[in-house]
Structures are given as structure tokens and as C-alpha cells.
Amino acid sequence: MAGKKKQTLFVIFAIPKQPAEPGNRYIANDGSMTTIRSKAARFWTYWDAKAFAEMNHIALNALTYIGREYFTAFEVQRLAAGLHGL
């Protein structure tokens, strides 16, 4: 089986208050925190993510930061179509 093509998009990561909690935390489209990757707000550019953070009063720092995450071609296609959830 051939590997699925992947592309990186920008997301806003949020470190949990308890460091022992496993898994990534993301900022969702509504500005809330989520552990569900498909609900993470995704951006084509760093600057789009930064503007989203500013508009939603999300302080970017060592605990909440913009980074890259891999998404499949299907997930990227849904973002391009404006469909964020599965």
C-alpha cells in the first residue's frame, strides 16, 4: 500500500497545565482548547495563525505557540473547501 501524501499546515499548540498529560493540545476554530486534531484550527501561513490568535485574544508564549502539524491530502482538501471537522 502506497503511503498517503502529507502536507504541513500551521496550528496553534497549547501545552496542558499538567505536564504529565499525554497527547497534543490544540486551539480550535472557536478559540477553545481541544485534543482532537481534526478540530484544530489550521492555517496555510504562520501569519494567518498569528492573526487568528490576535483576533481571539490568545497570548502566544512558551505554552501556547504556533507550530506545524502534518495533515493528509484529504484533510488539506477539506480545509481548502472550508470544511474543518470530519
Compute mean pLDDT per 10 residues along the chain, 86 residues long, and list them.
Answer: 72 78 87 91 94 96 93 80 52
Kindly state whether residue 45 falls inside one of the protein's structural domains: yes
Residues of the domain holding 29? 1-9+22-59
Kindly state whether residue 3 falls inside one of the protein's structural domains: yes
Q: How far apart are CA 64 and CA 2, in angstroms?
A: 35
**pTM for this prediction:** 0.78
Task: Provide the number of structural domains found in the chain.
Answer: 1
Kindly state whether residue 82 falls inside one of the protein's structural domains: no
